[in-house]
Amino acid sequence: MRPVMSQTIFVQFLLIGIDLGLTIINVLYFSGLFRAISAIIFAVAVLLETFPFCYLCDLLAKDCEELSNILCHSHWIDAEPKYKSALKFFMHNLQQPIDFKAGGIFAISLNSNIQVAKFAFSVMAIVQQMNLANRFK
């Protein structure tokens, strides 16, 4: 499940960054007041597409970090051998933190939404440097 999710969210982040960049260019160069307002609403909606997924990934990583503390504070000394073996299994697996990567490149978190917005401004800067907006007018 993780490889499919990783590739899918990477493509989604890439497309959202490009889409936001083009929307910003549209607002700055080609639209009037009402088109600008609708484009800004569209940009916010596009940015909010990935927010729930990134938020849940952050919560899941935080819960996994807290799980080790919860397991250590359980009454494991007087527990059954099955519980102790399950506890050993969980403690061994908790040594490697769970992190979700988009395309194996960057972590999926709320910070990644900010990075996508920064990518949109990079797209806008490239268009400005290449003077593409004036060519299309």
Cβ neighbours around 111 below 10 Å, total: 11
At 136, the pLDDT band (50, 70, 90 cuts) reads low
On whether the CB atoms of residues 39 and 31 are closer than 8 A, the answer is yes
- The first and second tokens of residue 8, run together, are 């899918």
How many folded domains does the chain comprise? 1
Residue 1 has pLDDT above 70, yes or no: no
Separation between Cα atoms, residue 21 and residue 23, nearest integer Å: 5
Q: What are residue 102's DSSP bridge partners?
A: 106
**Mean pLDDT value of segment 59-86:** 84
Domain span at 23: 2-136
What are the Cα distances from residue 86, in Å, to 13, 90, 91? 38, 6, 9
- Say which range, 22-36, 49-63, 117-131, has the weakest mean pLDDT: 117-131
pTM of the model: 0.71
